[in-house]
Structure 1
Amino acid sequence: MLKHAAKLLPVARAQVCDHAEVQLLSVRGINFFNAPNGPSVKQVSIEDEWYNRQRNIFQLLDKQPYFPVDVFVAPNAVVCGDVDIYGGASIFFGAVLRGDLNKIRLGNRSAVLDRAVIHAARAVPTGLNAATLIGDKVTVEPYAVLRSCRVEPKCIIGARSVLCEGSVVEAESIVAPNSVVPPARRIPSGELWGGNPVKFIRKLTAHERDRVLDDVANHYHNLAAMFRREQLDHGTAWRDVEAWRQKLVDHGEYQWINFREQKYLMRLQHEAEAMEKLAS
């Protein structure tokens, strides 16, 4: 993806204030990674990056995420490591599925909504499987956190709820928003639970079990399908464009002008002029 922190402009428009440039260089000379015990990484100015090298779907060590073509993963969602996503599932904006320590499975037509986090521990004290297993047609609402738990098909996990290690939510159940399911707690099928810690509230009605749970899952499936149709396919056409631009730069017809840097330099110049007026 293009950062476009820099653009092409004629050489004649590349003039900047020398005094402001000296101030800018003095500011940029401060490298916060030069501390004695700091990380041994190379600091690269964002203006020097042509493209964003970050990927929202990537492998960790030898674990590669799996998902079919009909899965929607939002551009700013993160799916990494040992994650299996099955047909029709959707990962909405800002959600994170991090399979670094153990496996994550997301079933058919399940939806992980905005900024929900799903991850797994290496092991759980109960001795059960530490993987996070989510069945078909499960809706994980925004800001929920699921860790090494099991959610069976056709469930709704309310917004900002937390499912701790070893917890089990059986099929056709609902966890109310802002609830906390303690470790190793089991929520029986066909029930509504809520609170911190979670407690039984009531049985679900036949209408809720037969219609509501399906309707919620189908709603987010259709919404994700609309988002998926708007996505652009990945390609390499940008390589030819950048080769052409670089050729113009090499022939001296154009040069790279950093708009962000120029804007900063102009601001320094205006501040200096304002100070001179106040002094006079």
Structure 2
Amino acid sequence: MAYYLAEGAIVKGDVTIGEDSGIWYHATVRGDTDRITIGSRTNVQDNAVLHVGDGHALTIGNDVTIGHGAIVHGCEVGNNTLIGMGAIILNGAVIGDNCIIGAGALVTQNMEIPDGSLAFGNPAKIIRKLTEEEIKSNHNNALLYVGEAKNQLMPV
């Protein structure tokens, strides 16, 4: 089972990464005080930070996109979800399957975002349910990054 790692990306500690996932340029995945589990076909884009702490492990599902510069800390992210650029997800948050968290959103500690939701703002608020087209777009975006990872990054 292989994943893909870009130059300058850091993966340290108790970290499991699923098949065909990509950790992009200068992203940091640091499981130093608890476990990080990343599913298959998930992409962690440039300068994103994935970390744990305060007794909170980090679990990210399959077919997830973590946008550039996002901070995802000690939470759960469901399958086929997109975390927008610069979003911050705090300890104990639970984000369901088939969600979009908008760019720059702040998902506060222990907040729950139900399956199929669009949420954005600071603090994040649930705006509406995703359309079928948006759910398919999340999946297509994840698959696009699998292809890009195979072309650009080193397999591990």
TM category, shorter: over 0.9
User: 1:161 and 2:87 equivalent?
Assistant: yes
Q: Which residue of 1 aligns with 2:141?
A: 216
| CA displacement at 1:153 relative to structure 2 | 0.4
Q: Which residue of 1 aligns with 2:12?
A: 80
Q: Which residue of 1 aligns with 2:51?
A: 119
Paired amino acid for 2:41? R
Provide the rounded CA distance (Å) in 1 between the counterparts of 2:126 and 2:57.
25
Q: Which residue of 2 aligns with 1:255?
A: none
| CA displacement at 1:203 relative to structure 2 | 1.3
Unaligned runs of at least 5 residues, structure 1: 1-67, 124-129, 234-280
Q: Give CA-to-partner distance per residue, 1:152-198, whole Å, 9 cap, x none.
A: 10000000000001001000000000000000000011110000000
Provide the rounded CA distance (Å) in 1 between the counterparts of 2:16 and 2:131.
32
The SS at the match of 2:35 is strand
Question: For 1:146, which of 52, 72, 78 is the aligned residue?
Answer: 72
Higher relative contact order (CA 8 A, sep 6+): 2
State the identity as a percent.
33
Normalising by structure 1, we get a TM-score of 0.54
Normalising by structure 2, we get a TM-score of 0.96
| CA displacement at 1:208 relative to structure 2 | 1.4
Q: Which residue of 2 aligns with 1:104?
A: 36
Q: Which has the larger radius of gyration?
A: 1
Trace 1:189-200 onto structure 2 (pairs within 5 A): 189-200=115-126
Unaligned runs of at least 5 residues, structure 2: none
Q: Which has the higher helix share?
A: 1
Paired amino acid for 1:191? S
Provide the rounded CA distance (Å) in 2 between the counterparts of 1:73 and 1:171.
25
Q: Give CA-to-partner distance per residue, 1:61-90, whole Å, 9 cap, x none.
A: xxxxxxx3x311112000000000010100
The SS at the match of 1:214 is helix
Provide the rounded CA distance (Å) in 2 between the counterparts of 1:150 and 1:200.
17
User: 1:91 and 2:16 equivalent?
Assistant: no
Q: Which residue of 1 aligns with 2:101?
A: 175
Q: Which has the higher strand share?
A: 2
| CA displacement at 1:122 relative to structure 2 | 3.6
Provide the rounded CA distance (Å) in 1 between the counterparts of 2:23 and 2:4.
6
Q: Give CA-to-partner distance per residue, 1:211-246, whole Å, 9 cap, x none.
A: 211111011110001013xx5x9xxxxxxxxxxxxx
Paired amino acid for 1:109? R
User: How many residues were matched structurally?
Assistant: 155
Provide the rounded CA distance (Å) in 2 between the counterparts of 1:195 and 1:167.
15
Paired amino acid for 1:145? I
**TM superposition outliers: structure 1 runs of 4+ over 2 Å:** none
Provide the rounded CA distance (Å) in 2 between the counterparts of 1:200 and 1:167.
14
| CA displacement at 1:202 relative to structure 2 | 1.6
Give the aligned CA root-mean-square deviation in angstroms: 1.1
